[in-house]
Structure 1
């Protein structure tokens, strides 16, 4: 069946150019509505970079137009998100079901089509980097779909196993070559770029991890696979505890793989993956990627790096908390506890300017339409949330250990970290309310750690509002209300 044309708003191409649906995929009027909605979907917010140069935009314009399974998954996600949003906007959702059930049904149909296409793609023995890219994007979108709209842990586990298989059999063998190529490009002379408008961040050492503008690359380095692999790791730490032990175990397997490589100084390590993923946007977009977007990548890199390192620390805290009982935890010098505590303090020193900027800024609007203040806010909140998480996991174990008090005095106290998470979240919500999807976990743990009932009520309302974007937020909201209302029959993190 010939592809049907669909005009899009603000595409990253020539004004007025139309977008084509993938071959063999016909579009209904509601499908067209869904495609028009994609640029406003919560996925764009979750992945960070603004439209039209968002990774979602790349998956839509560059991949979905050629791969029906990717297009079907984007339609499925958009349809189900529209359905949930409409229900949340209705005062009487029961009477609205008949008129909105089409969007729900269409979402399920598109998901079924994507599954069928994915099975066929996985049967192919030889997979090019472009095929791996399409499969990986599809699997990632399926994980997000099952998390927000599906049956939860059991279905998520299936797709995670698919990602693991793809990772070990097809991605890992190609990553070292992509990493080596990226390191060669880093050593090449860079074009002169006027970054004076970036202020202090232009000289931040983190900017050294950004590669110069590059044309198409062979292999995985020219795809968005490294970035989506990194996003997969973020997806499951530490909130995987909400989805059950199975998902948490699979997450541990993937993260441990990269951390083992990190410890052994062999590729691909987690630092290699992070560096390659942050170099990749200009490469998978190609020559059309504008200088303004490259500068945007540059000025947001410090916040993204703090966000990344905070996630790694959260994973290490989770591992220590899950696999050590109270008497078994060592607090001696050189112990995992001390290493984690030192890393948390190191981050506060290295990113002092960024953290101070978040505390001093009144809102995200001080940067105009640039996203740098958004990134600063949610990366700072993630860092302070990591401090809260550390305290909540181990504060009971430190009772009666006066020898550790002097060591921990240099770390931000629990009450201060909780206050900072809540204060920064309040400022972020006032200017960018949808960005709370980026900070659900720190908001949750700060809300249960505070003794301020006004703030607890505020967190409860905010988490409940996020339910419009997926049932995973509903689960977190209900869990929060159980704990904050005095149901202590459950642990914070189960």
Structure 2
């Protein structure tokens, strides 16, 4: 008889491989600086077992989510992590952060809120990476004041402290991640363990958006997720578990979006997303399966607490979110054509099929596109922000497609599409400037093809501001050099946006 490998044996081997990947990554080779903003016991190990003593943070429940005054004393956690006032402020800032804005669902009843309230106080790494990302965002907001000419010396020093704290928490969280992977691989782990793991992966990848030097490390983590996922799911089937825990399913779906965006910054990206896309239709971790799970998991996650108003909100946003979901799929075809040796010039049939898919998608969601174009403002309704996001992603696909046709590099519809993107982006950012960080990718794509100098100046100014906070939002690196018209245009956008506004500030903060 052939020896059949046991799933947990496979998980252990993959755990060792994943640990090697983490240790070989540049971020793990750096020795973290001991932050003056946090106190971590040298004897403490990451807390991830269900039997660990637990201490609930003084964080408001979703039923009564009103900010409270922060105490000046440290908050000790069950894992011996202690938070200073600055750390507490960063943690409390999470719910108002750009990370939450980019997800779209209001924080109070989101899966991130579930992780924040139920997981972060039990797992040192989750708490640390929440604080790291929020601290980095607060630091970047301070730099934006400098960009606007209003930064004082005290604010500048605060930005330095925030970055120092962020990087310290970040590097310590990486060690917690490695320990948690080992724990789950050897013991199977509880649902909370797995939710903590995927929360850390998502938060670490989002932290990478704040740091242009972390692109390579982000790809290492995405490969780590790929290495973990299949052996873990095989182990679940052996134990009659159906799939990932609810929160992890939605977090994996969010991670797939980040993988798609990173595919435009490096040709090493997109592999996890392609894995999910190639899963059987009935697989719980297929790309479509994760979408449907993400759309229905919140009432299950929160149980009877989940209010009718949120159920109505989910139902109202379903159609434009489905549109946004479907807009991700043609990106694979565009990238395949863009990275072929001749930029798809010999694949006329492939380009025609891609255009048919885009046309069909636009026809199916013509009502969403019309609403995005005609509505004057959102009236604070989440629905309209979702409509804006989905519509701009669709138009960005058309703009990218226009760069693939060697016989018609400037089709007659291109100027109209770019003008529509600019118009929607302008009214969205005018109403709420923070929405820029949610819409930054399609606006960046529009900028590479606009021939209207006024539009170009506005788009350029918005993207320069966005890059102070999110220097790694999906524009390409050197991998794209020489890759036909699309590669040239994307590199031009990259050079336009990557200015001293980001790099000089980062150099100054690092001393």
* Interval of TM-score (by shorter of Structure 1 and Structure 2): 0.7 to 0.9
The structure that is helix-richer by fraction is: 1
Q: In structure 1, what is the Cα distance between the partners aligned to 2:447 and 2:66?
A: 47
Q: What CA deviation, in whole Å up to 9, does each residue of 1:57-95 have, x standing for no partner?
A: 222112112211111100111111111111221337584
Instruction: Describe how 1:66-465 pairs up with structure 2 within 5 A.
Output: 66-90=122-146, 91=149, 95=153, 96-124=155-183, 125-126=186-187, 127-149=189-211, 151-171=213-233, 174=236, 220=243, 222-242=245-265, 244-246=266-268, 248=269, 251=270, 253-262=271-280, 268-323=285-340, 325-326=342-343, 329-332=346-349, 336-365=350-379, 369-392=380-403, 394-398=404-408, 413-465=413-465
Aligned to 1:484: none
Q: In structure 1, what is the Cα distance between the partners aligned to 2:447 and 2:57?
A: 44
Structure 1 pair 102–266 and aligned structure 2 pair: CA distance change class (3 A) = closer
Deviation at 1:16, TM superposition (A): 7.2
- Matched-pair contact (CA < 8 Å) for 1:463–1:476: no
Q: In structure 1, what is the Cα distance between the partners aligned to 2:381 and 2:223?
A: 38
Structure 1 pair 172–279 and aligned structure 2 pair: CA distance change class (3 A) = farther
Deviation at 1:313, TM superposition (A): 1.2
Q: In structure 2, what is the Cα distance between the partners aligned to 1:138 and 1:434?
A: 24
Structure 1 pair 389–327 and aligned structure 2 pair: CA distance change class (3 A) = closer
Instruction: Describe how 1:9-24 pairs up with structure 2 within 5 A.
Output: 11-14=61-64, 22-23=77-78, 24=80
Deviation at 1:478, TM superposition (A): 11
Deviation at 1:141, TM superposition (A): 0.9
Q: What CA deviation, in whole Å up to 9, does each residue of 1:147-181 have, x standing for no partner?
A: 31262222112211221122222146659999xxx
Q: In structure 2, what is the Cα distance between the partners aligned to 1:324 and 1:296?
A: 46
Q: In structure 2, what is the Cα distance between the partners aligned to 1:386 and 1:177?
A: 42
Instruction: Describe how 1:468-479 pairs up with structure 2 within 5 A.
Output: 468-472=468-472
Q: In structure 2, what is the Cα distance between the partners aligned to 1:302 and 1:36?
A: 32
- Matched-pair contact (CA < 8 Å) for 1:73–1:142: yes
The farther-off stretch of 224-233 and 96-105 is 96-105
Deviation at 1:268, TM superposition (A): 4.2
Q: In structure 2, what is the Cα distance between the partners aligned to 1:301 and 1:161?
A: 30
- Matched-pair contact (CA < 8 Å) for 1:460–1:477: no
Aligned to 1:204: none
Q: In structure 2, what is the Cα distance between the partners aligned to 1:327 and 1:36?
A: 49
Q: In structure 2, what is the Cα distance between the partners aligned to 1:46 and 1:340?
A: 28
Unmatched tracts of structure 1, length 5 or more: 179-217, 400-404, 480-487
Aligned to 1:482: none
- Matched-pair contact (CA < 8 Å) for 2:57–2:121: no
Structure 1 pair 141–303 and aligned structure 2 pair: CA distance change class (3 A) = same
Deviation at 1:432, TM superposition (A): 2.2
Q: What CA deviation, in whole Å up to 9, does each residue of 1:295-347 have, x standing for no partner?
A: 11111011111111111112221122213525763323xxx323322221111
Deviation at 1:56, TM superposition (A): 2.4
Structure 1 pair 422–220 and aligned structure 2 pair: CA distance change class (3 A) = same
Q: Relative contact order: is structure 1 or structure 2 higher (C-alpha 8 Å, sep ≥ 6)?
A: 2
- Matched-pair contact (CA < 8 Å) for 1:80–1:103: yes
Q: May I ask how many residue pairs the two structures share in their alignment?
A: 422
Q: What CA deviation, in whole Å up to 9, does each residue of 1:372-413 have, x standing for no partner?
A: 111011111111111111112x232557xxxxx9xx9xxx92
Aligned to 2:502: none
TM-score normalised according to structure 2 size: 0.75
Unmatched tracts of structure 2, length 5 or more: 1-40, 42-52, 479-484, 492-511
Q: In structure 2, what is the Cα distance between the partners aligned to 1:33 and 1:221?
A: 32
Alignment of 1:492 onto 2:485: no
- Matched-pair contact (CA < 8 Å) for 1:230–1:273: yes
Q: In structure 1, what is the Cα distance between the partners aligned to 2:373 and 2:328?
A: 21
Structural RMSD (CA): 3.2
